[in-house]
Structure 1
Amino acid sequence: MKIVGVAACTVGIAHTYIAQEKLENAGKKAGHQIHIETQGTIGTENELTAEQIAEADIVILAADVKISGQERFEGKRTIQVPTEIAVKSPNKLIEKAEEVVNKNQ
């Protein structure tokens, strides 16, 4: 499964990057291709390409604030959660993504 997403917290420092790392590790551990863009205090990093978004089976938005460029994901299956969920339960979030994708195939 191919997963893309965005992590962004209110302060744009710790939780943004912790959420990115936890999601990417959990996704890879589950055998998926995963790429998480961060939108923090220093701007957007690891920006998703149009190709990555087009090929994605699901989008995970782990955000406590409005993310920029959210329109890029219109028409894609999306899970939106606070960054806290991605930080505390990344494996469960990846499992939820698998359920959503498998249910809609």
Structure 2
Amino acid sequence: MNIIGIAACTSGIAHTYIAKEKLTKAGIALGHTIHIETQGTIGIEDELSNEQVKNADVVIIAADIKVSGKDRFKGKRIVEIPTDIAIKAPKQIINKIDNEINN
């Protein structure tokens, strides 16, 4: 599965980057391609390319705040979760999404 996403928390620091790290490690461990953009106090980092968006099977938005640029995901399957869920149960989230897409 080709996963893209956005991570963003209220302060734009700790939970943003922890959620990105946990989702990325879980996605890779489960055999998926994954790229997570962060939106924080210093702006957007690791911005998703048009090609990544085009090829995505699913978009995970792990955010506690409103994120920008959601319009680029039109027509894509989007899963929105709080950052704490991405941090606590990233493999379970990805497995659940994978099961829903493939069943």
Name whichever of 23-32 and 87-96 sits farther off: 87-96
In the other structure, the counterpart of 1:9 is 9
Is 2:57 the counterpart of 1:51? Answer: no
1:75 is displaced (CA, Å) by 0.8
1:81 is displaced (CA, Å) by 0.3
Give the TM-score normalised by structure 1: 0.95
Q: Which runs of 5+ in 2 are unaligned?
A: none
1:100 is displaced (CA, Å) by 2.5
1:43 is displaced (CA, Å) by 0.4
The code of the aligned residue for 2:22 comes to K
1:19 is displaced (CA, Å) by 0.1
Give the ranges of 4+ consecutive aligned residues of structure 1 lying more than 4 Å apart after TM superposition: none
Aligned length: 103
In the other structure, the counterpart of 2:28 is 28
The code of the aligned residue for 1:61 comes to I
Secondary structure of the 1:34 match is: strand
> Identical aligned pairs, as a percentage?
59
Is 2:98 the counterpart of 1:98? Answer: yes
- 1: distance between equivalents of 2:100 and 2:41? 31
1:97 is displaced (CA, Å) by 1.6
Is 2:75 the counterpart of 1:72? Answer: no
1:60 is displaced (CA, Å) by 0.3
Q: Alignment RMSD, CA only?
A: 0.7
1:88 is displaced (CA, Å) by 0.5
